[in-house]
Chain A
């Protein structure tokens, strides 16, 4: 009998379908994958080290640049971790606005995923439609925060400013039309025989493996585990809203596709409820030690000026202790483990980045698949290397 010889093929880090600078070493038996070794770190910026010499507020812009398709969600997870450490209550209006923005951002992130995932598999048309709707969402976020991708809009204790006057009409216009658009994407893909052949039964991750690898978000739900941080550990008033958690059955690429599509519909529902029941009031906690004073007071009032200067220059001190807070991001569970020694800068911040744990399960998912399925599976776990490499 002839000796079995495996061929090693390098994929990336410069490859259009790896969604960033991911490098894979694939060991192949003919066209079948025997072993995969992901090599990451090409985009490592040492965010956790940088956090240790910045005040708590100064770290907010770094969180935007983790998963740059979901800036609002990253902001939210970080500021809520610090709020938990401080033990402060955020005004109800700020909580609701955060939910609306986080869900809009989730829709935008899922639209990028759908467009690029379909493009990877060869369906180019979808990209043009999803980017059209994403543009509407990004325009709303830009209108609110002034930036398209890196909003840095949330503050510890609330928001940087209240939303503009026409915000609610803009969002409602989008929300009313959006379910039809999702149906439109589905006509292109859901029953398309080529799509089915490329995605059904590919990249299967069993329920047990999913839990052991610590995958979260749509990948975990695709494998049939009904686990959503918004339901299990509710934060920012998510308990007020009525929404379903979609789950898959097999745990293949198609299930993850179905889960994310349904998540967009549910996000749409949450936004609608939050806008309809939007409370009035302040958008930032009135705690003179933590929140900046209103800008117009800074120019008129010496106390407000001193307060602004104090908080902007040296920050604020937080109680000694450690907390972990995680939020349900488009990619999965984004958590911040913040250790404080009682000073104005964090002693240690550890980011629990969802794409990182999801990518760690990739070798298991593509074992035994064809080499052509690698891009399909990478697309289905929806990774962002900015987040993985930190």
Chain B
């Protein structure tokens, strides 16, 4: 089954949720409505021809202050039975509550904590949302595009 047929299958099952897809360098990226993240992910994990049993990586994205929607999360899924990968991406604005996928794949727990502390992405139903790499008293979201790494005002505390 090729990528286009897979997307058609998903579109049939979730007509509202699938917002588009792209194949670049033989990698499939599916844009999903963030409200339907949990049903789509559960379907991808459990059903053929997907069986994405491993969440390989989870990355937060910030497209800059002017962009709308500003944030994104990219979930990279791997199927060990069918040996292929699918990337699921969601887009949303600041303050949106995103359902945690750590109940579907336990490996999401730490990367979600990281995306939360680095970007300020608000995950809900996460078992233990605490700072992971940064100190507890750290103020600001360092991986956001407007967080400075050098310059005149670097010493001043950053406010999101």
In the assembled complex, the Cα of A46 lies from the Cα of B147 at a distance in Å of 12
- A contacts with B: majority SS: mixed
* Residue A230, interface by CB 8 Å: no
* Residue B40, interface by CB 8 Å: no
In the assembled complex, the Cα of A369 lies from the Cα of B142 at a distance in Å of 38
A212 near B132 (CB under 8 angstroms)? no
* Residue A356, interface by CB 8 Å: yes
A87 near B25 (CB under 8 angstroms)? yes
In the assembled complex, the Cα of A225 lies from the Cα of B112 at a distance in Å of 25
* Residue A295, interface by CB 8 Å: no
Taking CB as reference atom, which chain A residue is nearest B106? A212
In the assembled complex, the Cα of A333 lies from the Cα of B85 at a distance in Å of 14
**A213/B59 contact (C-beta < 8 A), A41-B133, A225-B80, A324-B76 known:** no
B59 near A348 (CB under 8 angstroms)? yes
**A360/B74 contact (C-beta < 8 A), A44-B133, A323-B25, A335-B56 known:** no
The interface size of chain A toward B, counting residues with CB under 8 Å, comes to: 37
* Residue B24, interface by CB 8 Å: yes
B57 near A337 (CB under 8 angstroms)? yes
**A53/B149 contact (C-beta < 8 A), A212-B107, A337-B59, A337-B76 known:** yes
Interface residues of A in 33-49 (CB under 8 A from B): 40-41, 44, 46, 48-49
The interface size bin for chain B is 20 to 34
* Residue B124, interface by CB 8 Å: no
B133 near A49 (CB under 8 angstroms)? no
Q: Which of A212, A233, A356 contacts B110 (CB 8 A)?
A: A356
* Residue A195, interface by CB 8 Å: no
**A211/B56 contact (C-beta < 8 A), A348-B61, A389-B133 known:** no
* Residue B109, interface by CB 8 Å: yes
In the complex, which residues of chain A have a beta carbon less than 8 angstroms from the beta carbon of B53? Answer: 211-212
Q: Which of B29, B57, B107, B109 contacts A350 (CB 8 A)?
A: B57
Contact digits for A326-361, partner B, Cβ 8 Å, 1 yes 0 no: 100000010101010000000010101000110010
Taking CB as reference atom, which chain B residue is nearest A39? B132
Taking CB as reference atom, which chain B residue is nearest A44? B133
B133 near A211 (CB under 8 angstroms)? no
B59 near A350 (CB under 8 angstroms)? yes
A360 near B110 (CB under 8 angstroms)? yes
Least CB distance, A212 to chain B, in whole angstroms: 4
Q: Which of A209, A212, A352 contacts B56 (CB 8 A)?
A: A352
**A339/B61 contact (C-beta < 8 A), A40-B132, A333-B56 known:** yes
* Residue A227, interface by CB 8 Å: yes
In the complex, which residues of chain B have a beta carbon less than 8 angstroms from the beta carbon of A321? Answer: 24-25
Taking CB as reference atom, which chain B residue is nearest A37? B128
Q: Which of B57, B61, B80, B106 contacts A335 (CB 8 A)?
A: B57
B107 near A40 (CB under 8 angstroms)? no
B106 near A324 (CB under 8 angstroms)? no
Least CB distance, A318 to chain B, in whole angstroms: 11
A357 near B25 (CB under 8 angstroms)? no
B149 near A49 (CB under 8 angstroms)? yes
Least CB distance, A121 to chain B, in whole angstroms: 27
B105 near A326 (CB under 8 angstroms)? no
Taking CB as reference atom, which chain A residue is nearest B22? A321
Taking CB as reference atom, which chain B residue is nearest A390? B133
Taking CB as reference atom, which chain B residue is nearest A336? B57
A50 near B25 (CB under 8 angstroms)? no
Other A-B pairs, 8, CB within 8 Å; known A46-B142, A322-B74, A322-B87: A49-B142, A227-B80, A322-B27, A323-B24, A335-B76, A350-B74, A357-B110, A389-B133
B residues near A, CB below 8 A? Answer: 24-25, 27, 29, 53-57, 59, 61-62, 74, 76, 80, 83, 85, 87, 105-107, 109-110, 131-135, 142-143, 147, 149
* Top-5 shortest CB links A-B: A214-B107, A350-B59, A41-B133, A352-B57, A212-B106
**25 chain-A/chain-B pairs, Cβ below 8 angstroms:** A40-B132, A41-B131, A41-B134, A48-B143, A49-B149, A50-B149, A87-B25, A211-B53, A211-B80, A212-B107, A321-B25, A322-B24, A322-B29, A322-B74, A322-B87, A323-B27, A324-B57, A335-B76, A337-B59, A348-B59, A352-B57, A357-B107, A360-B106, A360-B110, A390-B133
